[in-house]
A and B are shown apart, each in its own frame.
Chain A
Amino acid sequence: MAVEIAATGSGAPSESQVGAILAKHPAERSALIPILQEVQAKLGYLPEEAMCQVAEALGVPEANVYGVASFYAQFRFAPIGRKQVHVCRGTACHVGGAPKILAEVKERLGIGEGESTPDREYSLETVACIGCCALAPCAVVDGKVEAKLTPKKVRELFQGVQR
């Protein structure tokens, strides 16, 4: 019996977890992106072994799987923080002061875009537009939209975060 590796959000990759996802999809090229999305939702990122496993199951060269995964901004190749911070840099947010908001978030968390805090509590990314333009400038913190942000609100949001 295969030993099931306990997986947390950013834990160790599990062959059987990827296998379960593969079993739900037809073994064809068009299923590649949905499979990668599910793998990432499960494991928090795309470990190399998982991509190799997907490549083999679909009969697609490993280089192609990596080529697709690296093309799309959504896919990550390293574990992320438990709480994700997405700062919107859409037009309405930009004219509403998004650059200042981003600078403040970076300052508070002590990390740059695409990085995680050393304790893996937070990771920071920017997104093109989350479509809440009336609430600009905004960010999504741990799945919750934070509206009409000011540098002050950002400071309050991340109060107590150890840098």
Chain B
Amino acid sequence: MPAYRSTVLLCAGGGCISCGCLPVREAMEAELKRRNLADEVRVVQTGCVGSCDLGPVLIVYPDEVFYQKVSPGDVPKLVDEHFLKGRVFERLLVKSAETDNLIATQREFAFFNKQVKIVLENCGVIDPENIEEYVARGGYLALGQVISERTPEWVIEELKKSGLRGRGGAGFPAGTKWDFVRKAPGERKYVVCNADEGDPGAFMDRSVLEGDPHRVLEAMAIAGFAASADQGYIYVRAEYPLAIRRTRRAIQQAREAGFLGRNLFESSFSFDIDIRVGAGAFVCGEETALLASIEGKRGIPRPRPPFPAVSGLWGKPTLINNVETYACIVPIITRGGDWYASIGTEKSKGTKVFALAGKIRNTGLVEVPMGTTLREIVYDIGGGVPNGRKFKAAQTGGPSGGCIPAEHLDIPMDYESLAKVGSIVGSGGLIIMDEDSCMVDVAKFFMEFCTDESCGKCPPCRVGTRQIYGLLDKITKGEARIEDLHLLEELCGMVKESSLCGLGQTAPNPVLSTLRYFRDEYLEHIVDRRCPAKVCPSLIRYSIDEAACTGCSLCARNCPENTIFKVEDQKKYRIDPARCVKCGVCFDVCRFGAVVKS
């Protein structure tokens, strides 16, 4: 390989591609060629760097200079400054949230330097479509060592020592699960990777498959060796076309390189992997429903036991973990279970990737040791709540999780602590809300999601979620009575206790947790017929502050219902409250703050 003096890492994760990073790459390559720098500077397209709101993002090595929001038009100037004149192109640097100082390198950027990357160590560093880059980072070494020098028992022992728990939500100890499958009687066994990442707000599994797919393939092969399985399946949702494409390519490359297929590393061990693409059913994230879907059936869960470890795919023992769990395996094998167990808290080991989004300055993927406090994630890494608004709550675990209010900002983010405050780590979605978020509306949003996604097999979930949604709807419309609140709590308890699978059992959590911390907000909706966050359309009204109105007519022109009219003889506008549909378009378009929500 020729030696380059500099390497440009161009993030090509889903977020950056949507922001237009591919034209930036073309412009960069053209410009380097034009300046005769193509032999000195190499452009590498990587997976997700993590700072999705800053895309398209470039990191220039060896100095790790971090450029954000790069457009193709910026490229000639950037090449001129950075590669010809040898100085940092300041216009594209990130500004520090606190000091307004420019941040030149990735190391100096708080969003990155507070993170500990294990799962994401290769994401944004290597080209995910090139197996050689993965191998150059030590890839497939662990698989080779395990097959030629170790026993399945050794692998399981290391995994148990590591204390790794399943990252899909339930947090079951991975080593114990692998051991169950190994010991389950049966000739044929299977390894399955759950990449049906359906929780709205979580996208770390997508990023791992897009940014470092070989890491998952290698881990599944190790799992196959430990559990004596020779076939693996990755179940990916159809909504992730890029992840599917890159994983397919990775499987092909691994087969050609002899890391998948027959007699791996000249041993008697054979292992291959196929992809199954999900067809748009959230419930398929539940393991028994997922297995039914791979078998070609409706994705409907069944009661457990028997657990998949005993009777899974086609009735055979099946090891099923999610993407993030598999992404931890290779480092554990390479560096040892004790090393992994030294990170995190007593009962929650290692790191966890959170998908940080919502009302927060820096959004994207963050990987931190288990036990990092919510405050550190929100303020040190996330840069706090923007636009001078106040932190109100963090929602974790998506539709199965709950809200953490400001009073618990110092909570360590681990399985036990989150359970104590009525939430869950879940898959790692972390949505930050400020004062403009209505907690009843949030609960209603998740319940609507669950009513849509309930598979319909068991009545508590099918009917119960619908009834809960109906009550929440009444509350947000100001039509509820105080008795409805008791009914709501009773119904939540019933659905939780009597549903068949995790979807129904956890569906009431967002309601219960908002009731626990934001009961006053529910009461205000019911008793005062008021939405304090000014979100619920039935409980707010729009009006125009005539002192601030300049008469520009922008609101009137944008009103879909033509309810805004000019006041006679004045250059002012007014809203007809009787006909207003409360869409809020006038509020959004007014440049003078003259439209008032009350």
Footprint of B on A, CB under 8 Å? 28-34, 36-37, 67-68, 71-75, 89-96, 100, 103-104, 107, 127-136, 138, 144-145, 147, 150-152
Contact = CB atoms under 8 A, between A and B. Distances in A.
B467 interface: no
A30 B296 contact: yes
A37 B279 CA distance: 8
Contacts of B197: 131
Contact of B560 (A107, A130, A150): A107
Contacts of A130: 239
B14 interface: yes
A135 B15 contact: yes
Interface in B12-58: 14-15, 17-19, 52-53
A73 B237 CA distance: 12
Interface centre among A96, A133, A135, A138 (most CB of B within 10 A): A133
Contact of B296 (A29, A89, A100): A29
Contact of A33 (B198, B203, B296): B296
Interface in B427-478: 429, 431, 433, 437, 442, 445-446, 449, 453, 455
B296 A32 contact: yes
Given A37-B279, A132-B14, A135-B53, A74 B238 contact: yes
Contacts of B357: 91-92, 133-134, 136
A33 B281 contact: no
6 contacts: A29-B295, A31-B296, A91-B398, A103-B583, A130-B239, A151-B585
A33 B276 contact: yes
B53 A129 contact: no
Contact of A75 (B202, B279, B364, B558): B279
A74 B363 contact: no
A100 B537 CA distance: 11
Interface centre among A95, A147, A152 (most CB of B within 10 A): A95
Nearest to B293: A33
A133 B279 contact: no
Contact of A90 (B201, B280, B281): B201
Contacts of A104: 585
Nearest to A36: B279
Given A100-B588, A129-B202, 6 more contacts: A33-B277, A71-B298, A74-B278, A74-B280, A96-B358, A128-B198
Contact of A133 (B201, B282, B294): B201
Contact of B52 (A74, A94, A128, A132): A132
Contacts of B585: 100, 104, 151
Contacts, number: 144
B389 to A, nearest CB: 12
B296 A132 contact: no
A34 B584 CA distance: 43
Nearest to B395: A91
B343 to A, nearest CB: 26
Closest 4 CB pairs of A and B: A134-B52, A145-B18, A72-B279, A73-B280
Contacts of A100: 583-585, 588
B359 interface: yes
Nearest to A136: B357
Interface residues of B, number: 58
B201 A34 contact: no
Contact of B279 (A33, A90, A144): A33
A105 to B, nearest CB: 12
B206 interface: yes
A48 B15 CA distance: 38
B292 to A, nearest CB: 10
Given A73-B281, A95-B437, A128-B198, A151 B588 contact: yes
B364 to A, nearest CB: 5
B240 interface: yes
A49 to B, nearest CB: 20
A60 B297 CA distance: 11
Given A72-B279, A73-B279, A95-B359, A128 B449 contact: yes
A56 to B, nearest CB: 15
B239 A138 contact: no
A28 B15 CA distance: 38
Interface in B401-438: 429, 431, 433, 437
Interface centre among B298, B299, B455 (most CB of A within 10 A): B298
Interface centre among B201, B294, B398, B558 (most CB of A within 10 A): B201
Contact of A147 (B18, B279, B282, B429): B18
Interface in B291-312: 293-300
A136 B355 CA distance: 13
B429 A91 contact: yes
Nearest to B433: A95
A93 B52 CA distance: 14
A134 B15 contact: yes
Interface centre among A71, A74, A127 (most CB of B within 10 A): A71
Contacts of A34: 276-277
Given A73-B280, A74-B280, A134-B364, A90 B298 contact: no
Given A33-B279, A95-B431, A68 B298 contact: yes
Interface in B345-404: 355, 357-359, 363-364, 395, 398
A105 B17 CA distance: 23
B52 A135 contact: yes
Contacts of B15: 132, 134-135
A133 B363 contact: yes
Nearest to B446: A91
Contacts of B493: none
A68 B398 contact: no
Contacts of A75: 279-280
Contacts of B297: 29, 68
A28 B295 CA distance: 9
B358 A91 contact: yes
B298 A67 contact: yes
Contacts of B199: 129
